Amino acid sequence: MGDSRTTVAYGQFSTLSNEWLGIDYARKIDTMLMGWQKPKENIKKGIIAEFISQIARVDKKRVLEVSAFYNDLESSIKTVAKSVKERGKAIYVVGNRTVKNIKFPTDQFIAEKFEENGFKHLLTYERALSNKSMPRRNSPTNEKGKTVNTMLSEYIVVCEK
């Protein structure tokens, strides 16, 4: 979902500069990103639960990776929510990722989790990614002719405490 095993290898690309900055754990950054701590069970409640159960029927290993990402995202939102002052805003920019041909409403998940932490969801703005450097379609199964859209939009989720 946002982990470097399946998307951008943030740790790999930042290792040299982080070592120059004296960060001792520069080579371990990838293992500290969202989704690296595998849960013992899948998410079973909230907006994302049905999408998780759909993947569970198809791929037992991948569903744990996806659950791990959403668990970590929820934990991050709880931490951010505690630091925002009354009437302050939290603004997240996110892409809704497709896993195993199932599109995950990450924008709705973020709004839901902020509301559970005392925020009001004000709006979600969808913006087309018109100048993408990545292809608009890919073949996640590597089967010739079977292509799907990549992320074509980003969602800007605005919540107020």
For every one of its 161 residues, what pLDDT tens digit does the chain have, with 9 covering 90 and above?
444 444 445 556 667 777 777 877 766 666 666 656 666 678 888 999 999 999 999 888 888 888 888 988 999 999 999 999 999 999 999 988 888 888 899 999 999 999 999 999 999 999 987 765 555 555 555 566 665 566 678 899 999 99
Q: Are 15 and 4 in contact (CB under 8 A)?
A: no
Q: Are residues 79 and 19 in the same domain?
A: no
pTM of the predicted model as reported, rounded to 2 decimal places: 0.75
Give Dmax over CA atoms of the chain in angstroms: 53
Identify whether residues 95 and 142 lie together within a single domain. Answer: yes
Number of structural domains the chain divides into: 2
Whether residue 21 lies inside any domain: the answer is yes
- C-alpha–C-alpha distance, residues 151 and 65, integer Å: 19
80 and 109 within one domain? yes
Same structural domain, 26 and 67? no
Give the residue numbers spanning the domain of 14. 8-32
Per-residue confidence (pLDDT) for residue 3, from 0 to 100? 45
* Burial readout 89-105 (b: 16 or more C-beta within 10 A, e: otherwise): ebebebbbbebeeeebb
Let me know whether 75 and 115 are in one domain: yes
- Same domain membership, residue 28 and residue 48: no
pLDDT given at position 31: 62
- Residues 43 and 27 both lie in one domain: no
129 plus 51 within the same structural domain:
yes
